[in-house]
A and B are shown apart, each in its own frame.
Chain A
Amino acid sequence: MKLYLKIWRQKNAESKGSMVEYTLDGIENDMSFLEMLDVLNEGLINKGEEPVEFDHDCREGICGTCSLMINGRPHGPDSRVSACQLHMRSFKDGDSIVIEPWRAKAFPIVKDLIVDRSAFDRIQQAGGYISVNTSGRPVDANAIPIEKELADASFAAATCIGCGACVAACKNASAMLFTSAKVSQFALLPQGQVEASERVLNMVRQMDLEGFGNCTNTGACEVECPKGISLENIARMNREYLSASVKG
């Protein structure tokens, strides 16, 4: 198929960027979206031009590295997939495709389609853990039975891949879905109870410091999340935050 691409090009964080148009032919249905970009780049290199830089690594939807705004939607038109799992059969001959980086103040652009998501790391560093040392002698893993339903809910929250689609989808560039997924994972488990109050307060404080916007419950994050992380997590985090604040 033949495609008309409009891609955001930007040399580095300091310079100004712009949309650049490319026409690409010979794209097949079975190609992944990123393989389509590989074909574009191979052509650019052969012409002596600089290829379009984009973040990607595992190309199987789990590392969370890829981060493309495709026709205005994070990770493109298909649901429950990241851009690396999107295939060209979702498009047709003659389509125009607009490709942009995540747009959020807290995610500054590094180059072209690559953004800096280290704000997510800093939110996790503020409290996204259980403070237990590696001793080789904690209690036996089966000493604390955990209700299957709770364990499954905790797992569901923990499947977040940290890609940032939730922030990109949100008109406020809020990171509530991301932060609440981690808070929920631990809040649902007995092991996470001890530090629960401190955790939620610290993580929310860091989230605000990073310049993410507030949540206005539009639910766009849940719709665009490639892993289907539920809005219930945000509600849970709000409850956790409230009770921690009252206690505090």
Chain B
Amino acid sequence: MGVLDSKIPSGPLADKWTNHKNKIDLVNPANKRNIDIIVVGTGLAGGSAAATLAELGYNVKTFCYQDSPRRAHSIAAQGGVNAAKNYQGDGDSVYRLFYDTVKGGDYRSREANVHRLAEVSTNIIDQCVAQGVPFAREYGGLLDNRSFGGVLVSRTFYAKGQTGQQLLLGAYAAMNRQIQRGKIKSYTRHEMLDMVLVNGKARGIIARNLVTGEIERHSGHAVVLATGGYGNLFFLSTYCMGANVMAAWKAHKRGAFFANPCFTQIHPTCIPVSGDHQSKLTLMSESLRNDGRIWVPKNIEDAQSIREGKLKPTELKEEDRDYYLERRYPAFGNLVPRDVASRAAKERCDAGYGVNKTGEAVYLDFAAAIMRYGREKALTSGMKNPDDATVRQLGEEVVEAKYGNLFQMYEKIVDQNPYKTPMMIYPAVHYTMGGLWVDYNLMTSIPGCYAAGEANFSDHGANRLGASALMQGLADGYFVLPYTIGDYLSDDIRTGPISTETEEFDAAEKHVRERIEKLLSAKGEHSVDYYHKKLGKIMWNKCGMARNEKELKEAMKEIAELRKDFWENVKVPGSADAKNQELEKAGRVADFLELGELFAMDALDRNESCGGHFRDEYQTPEGEALRDDKNYTYVAAWEYKGEPSKAKLHKENLVYENIEVKTRSYK
């Protein structure tokens, strides 16, 4: 399979990236001025890539659907960013970060990519501090760290519960500097509707100006897609409302392989669903699991009473609580990886121990942490015998300093005070590990089309560890793609500007216009949201935290039927030549209705459980995921063949030369 050459450099693992950088072709500064690069998406990956490419001298055009690059959803990341700095002296190293990430991904990621990620992680922190990103610091003035799930060291750098915001504003500032210099032209409120290939190479995009409705042609010598993940496939998720798969899916339909679409992260600590009106779910950062203890009642009668409002959680005695993560996984306790924590919550709720009205919630309790911090604070403040109320108050102050914004957010949404009563949480769709297949250089299977950040598949395997998404987005954008892209562009120094007046652009624009026309002409019965919600229900019920052959087959059939119904009966008001949010949504949901089917097919193909992909048929007697390394140690890369269900599977076999592949255990 020539097309699936991952281009992993030869040599020892720790030297691959350095050797590769030394060998790849460079473009001289004068020639960079003649090369145009299109970057779609301005989150951490796209923003940092655009800024760095422009610094290097390329002409960059950026596109985002938001009204400003600063609003990309990276901004909502709360907990932190990992880096193997070992500032805490707790035994961290590049190797350990690499090892934790491969293990956390349940041995379904590419060794060489993950090692490179761990290597450049330390540069990220240096770079961001130089940019003025205000990370949390200790009293001595040095950077503070905290722990995240699935690891035994403290390597996470953070800025309260707003780390993503601060890192994104750093990348946005770097972009702004280049916009001011004229090296980046920023197109906001623009959406990429198709990719244009000339002689098999990605040479441009068709975009819609979302304010005027104008269809525009933009050309470049390369196209970078940094358009995030596709979790909104589930309708309810922690993604922003506008997050979509359009750019990646259009590239897929033009020849880019889509890898491991079924690898989805369901995050254990989100605010539970409150009713049918719900439009999105809100995450409570994993960092809370540093201090919060997760539990449900030990006796099913108590759970029943709590659901009926007859019993308060604070009234339940310590011995009547089941701290099930600490019970099942004593080594990692509440800090097991996300997939493990999510499944454990589902298991307890399915067994009847859920604690809210719908029975789909568990407690995340800070009472013990508040008292612990309070006692420590009392001692350091010189209080000898403080009473419980004083200790509690001091403890609440410490907890507020650490997680204040998260507690406030919880209180605003749920209308309960989490300092006084435990939070209620439940798993929700949060991230997609799958995405466009890329080689070591981050190039997709379309020459000249690159994918960075969450939009690609390469680093997190079947499960992403906390605080690794920010790390990967910035690693790709600041430190990897700007260099690897030169290797490809060095062949383009004599190409000259790419014309948009060609038959390829004509055809792509025509295709886009016809599709919009079709969406508007189906003056049917139901709104776009009606279809999106239906799709979300199918995905959550049949392709969610636990999957099986029968339901996956049903899901494929139901999604295909829903798609057919959508194109006949969707109702999109308004016109194409003006701002039209319903039309924007319709285009996005139409793509989800195709991707959903491929997602189910991929889950069906993978007859094993690994990471976030759990098949009922494949589990140990204790209910843990059961991998099949003999048959499934591969990346499933799907080639589009006219319809999602006809996609052709290409396998990239994963080779582990530096890590012993074992059963993942957090016990």
Contact = CB atoms under 8 A, between A and B. Distances in A.
Contacts of B280: 59-60
Interface string A51-90: 1010111111111110000000000001011000101010
Given A12-B579, A38-B279, A57-B240, A185 B412 contact: no
Interface in B73-99: 73, 75-76, 85, 87
Given A60-B282, A139-B126, A191-B129, A118 B87 contact: no
Contacts of A151: 134-137, 141
Interface string B179-202: 110000010100000000000000
Given A130-B131, A134-B478, A162-B70, A35 B279 contact: yes
Given A78-B412, A87-B415, A146-B141, A162 B68 contact: yes
Nearest to B212: A12
A222 to B, nearest CB: 17
B400 interface: no
A45 B525 CA distance: 10
Contact of A189 (B85, B134, B176): B134
A141 interface: yes
A134 B479 contact: yes
A139 B579 contact: no
A62 B52 CA distance: 25
B479 A136 contact: yes
A64 B71 contact: yes
A129 B171 CA distance: 10
B573 interface: yes
Contacts of A110: 211, 579
Contacts of A61: 409, 412
Contact of A191 (B76, B130, B238, B479): B130
Contact of B277 (A39, A63, A85): A39
A53 B578 CA distance: 12
Interface stretch (B148-156, B158-166, B422-430, B641-649): B158-166
A137 to B, nearest CB: 8
Contacts of A131: 177
A48 B526 CA distance: 10
A14 to B, nearest CB: 11
B619 interface: no
A142 B282 contact: no
Contacts of A39: 277
A89 B127 contact: no
Contacts of B112: none
Interface string A111-148: 10010111011001111111111101111111011111
B166 A155 contact: yes
B132 A130 contact: yes
B241 interface: yes
B66 A65 contact: yes
Interface in B396-449: 408-409, 412-413, 415
B26 interface: no
A51 B573 contact: yes
A138 B130 contact: yes
Given A45-B571, A111-B579, A124-B172, A142 B123 contact: no
Interface string B110-149: 0000000000100101111111101111111111000000
B67 A141 contact: no
Contacts of B70: 64, 121, 124, 162
Contact-residue size bin, chain A (C-beta under 8 Å from the other chain): 35 or more
B67 A117 contact: yes
A127 B179 CA distance: 11
A34 interface: yes
B274 interface: yes
A158 interface: yes
Interface string B35-67: 000000000000010011001000000000011
B475 to A, nearest CB: 10
B574 interface: yes
A216 interface: no
A223 to B, nearest CB: 17
A58 B75 contact: yes
B176 A59 contact: no
Contacts of B120: 136
A53 B579 contact: yes
Nearest to A56: B241
Interface stretch (A24-32, A97-105, A170-178): A24-32
B600 interface: no
Contacts of A147: 141
A239 interface: no
A34 to B, nearest CB: 7
B67 A118 contact: yes
Contact of A45 (B138, B176, B527): B527
Contact of B409 (A49, A50, A60, A128): A60
A51 B143 CA distance: 48
A53 B172 CA distance: 26
B166 A62 contact: no
Contacts of B180: 125-127
Given A85-B412, A136-B123, A147-B141, A130 B130 contact: yes
B87 A142 contact: yes
Interface in B539-580: 571, 573-574, 578-579
A11 interface: yes
A229 B186 CA distance: 28
A140 B126 CA distance: 5
Contact of B68 (A31, A121, A132, A158): A121
A164 to B, nearest CB: 10
A138 B172 CA distance: 19
A158 B165 CA distance: 9
B408 A80 contact: yes
Contact of A158 (B134, B164, B574, B579): B134
Contacts of B52: 134
B85 to A, nearest CB: 7
A30 B415 CA distance: 9
A119 to B, nearest CB: 11
Given A50-B573, A146-B137, A133 B279 contact: no
Contacts of B137: 145-146, 148, 151-152
Contact of B67 (A53, A55, A185): A55
Contacts of A57: 66, 71, 73, 240-242
Contacts of B274: 30
B322 interface: no
A30 B169 CA distance: 32
B573 A49 contact: yes
A128 B68 contact: no
B173 interface: yes
A124 B174 CA distance: 10
Interface of B: 48, 51-52, 55, 66-71, 73, 75-76, 85, 87, 120, 123, 125-132, 134-143, 159-160, 162, 164-166, 169, 172-174, 176-177, 179-180, 186, 188, 211, 238, 240-242, 274-275, 277-280, 282-283, 408-409, 412-413, 415, 478-479, 482, 527, 529, 571, 573-574, 578-579, 581-582
16 contacts: A30-B277, A42-B529, A49-B573, A57-B66, A57-B73, A58-B71, A110-B211, A129-B177, A132-B127, A132-B131, A137-B126, A141-B85, A151-B137, A155-B134, A155-B166, A186-B132
Given A58-B73, A59-B280, A148-B137, 13 more contacts: A32-B279, A50-B574, A53-B579, A59-B241, A78-B412, A118-B67, A125-B176, A132-B130, A139-B130, A141-B128, A142-B142, A147-B141, A191-B129
Among all A-B residue pairs, the 5 with the closest Cβ atoms: A145-B141, A129-B173, A155-B134, A141-B129, A138-B130
Interface of A: 11-12, 28, 30-32, 34-35, 38-39, 42, 45-46, 48-51, 53, 55-65, 78, 80-81, 85, 87, 89, 110-111, 114, 116-118, 120-121, 124-134, 136-142, 144-148, 151-152, 154-155, 158-159, 161-162, 185-186, 189, 191-192
